[in-house]
C-alpha cells in the first residue's frame, strides 16, 4: 500500500512538473510568435511606405489676364471744403495783423496795435463773406464806414470794415462767397492807405490773425 501511494505521489509530481513546463513553453512560444508577427507588420508598413508610388506634380496653368482699358485722366478742380474760408477780396495785403507792436494812429490821435488785416481793393468793389455764419452786426461808423460782423460756424467772429454799403441784415445766415457789401474809396480811420478792406477776427474776444484762417495764395 505504501509503495502504491509512493508511486502515485511520484506520478503526480511528474505530471505537475510536465504541466508547468508545458505552460512555460507555451508562454515562451506564444511570446516569440507575437513578437515575430509584430515585427513582420512593422516591416510590411515601412516597406509599403518606402515603395509608395510618387505623385506626379503638374504645374498649375497661369490664368490669362485681360488688360484693363485705359482711362483718360480726369481734370480735377480744387474745391474748398465746407467750413473753410476764402479771401473776401482779391487784392494784396497792405498791412498785416500785429497785436504786439503799437503804432501811432494820426486820425485817432493814439497809439494802438493793428489787430486786423488790410487787403487792397477798389472803390465800389464787392466784398464777399470769408466763411459761413450768422450776421450779428451791421453798423455805420464815421471812422470805419459800414461794418458787418459775422459769427462764423467755426466759433470765430469776423468783422468787415471800410464798406461803402452793406447788403445783409442782422440775423441773416450768410454763406462763404456771399456778397455782404462794397468798398469805400478810402477808410477814414486809415486814410494813409488806398481803398481797402479792414478785416478783424476774434475768438472768445481775443484777436486772431485773419491770414491764419485764409487759404494760401
What is the tens place of the pLDDT at every residue in 143-158?
Answer: 999 999 999 999 999 9
Whether pTM > 0.75 for this model: the answer is no
Residue ranges per domain, the chain? 1-53, 93-213
Match 482779391 to its residue by C-alpha cell: 90
Kindly report, residue by residue over 172-208, the tens digit of the pLDDT. Answer: 999 999 999 999 999 999 998 999 999 999 999 999 9
Percentage of residues in the chain with pLDDT exceeding 70? 63
Decide: 184 and 163 in contact? Cβ < 8 Å.
Answer: yes
Cα Rg of the chain (Å, integer):
53
Average pLDDT score over the chain: 80
Instruction: At 21, give phi and psi (nearest 5°).
Output: -65, -40
- 5 pLDDT band, cuts 50/70/90, is low
Q: What's the CATH fold of domain 93-213?
A: Glucose Permease (Domain IIA) (2.70.70)
- How would residue 138 be classed by pLDDT, with cut points 50, 70 and 90? very high
* Residues 90, 154: Cα–Cα separation, whole Å: 23
Q: Are 92 and 197 in contact (CB under 8 A)?
A: no
Amino acid at each position: 500500500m505504501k509503495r502504491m501511494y509512493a508511486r502515485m505521489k511520484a506520478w503526480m509530481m511528474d505530471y505537475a512538473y510536465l504541466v508547468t513546463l508545458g505552460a512555460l513553453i507555451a508562454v515562451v512560444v506564444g511570446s516569440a510568435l507575437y513578437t515575430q508577427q509584430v515585427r513582420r507588420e512593422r516591416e510590411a508598413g515601412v516597406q509599403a511606405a518606402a515603395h509608395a508610388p510618387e505623385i506626379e506634380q503638374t504645374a498649375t496653368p497661369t490664368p490669362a489676364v485681360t488688360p484693363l482699358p485705359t482711362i483718360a485722366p480726369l481734370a480735377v478742380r480744387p474745391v474748398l471744403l465746407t467750413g473753410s474760408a476764402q479771401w473776401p477780396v482779391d487784392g494784396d495785403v497792405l498791412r498785416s495783423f500785429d497785436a504786439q507792436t503799437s503804432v501811432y494812429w494820426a486820425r485817432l490821435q493814439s497809439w494802438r496795435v493793428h489787430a486786423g488785416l488790410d487787403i487792397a481793393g477798389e472803390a465800389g468793389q464787392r466784398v464777399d463773406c470769408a466763411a459761413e455764419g450768422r450776421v450779428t452786426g451791421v453798423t455805420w461808423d464815421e471812422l470805419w464806414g459800414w461794418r458787418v460782423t459775422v459769427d462764423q460756424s467755426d466759433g470765430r467772429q469776423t468783422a468787415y470794415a471800410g464798406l461803402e454799403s452793406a447788403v445783409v441784415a442782422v440775423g441773416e445766415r450768410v454763406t462763404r462767397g456771399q456778397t455782404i457789401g462794397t468798398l469805400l474809396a478810402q477808410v477814414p480811420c486809415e486814410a494813409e492807405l488806398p481803398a481797402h478792406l479792414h478785416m478783424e477776427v476774434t475768438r472768445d474776444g481775443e484777436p486772431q490773425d485773419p491770414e491764419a484762417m485764409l487759404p494760401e495764395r
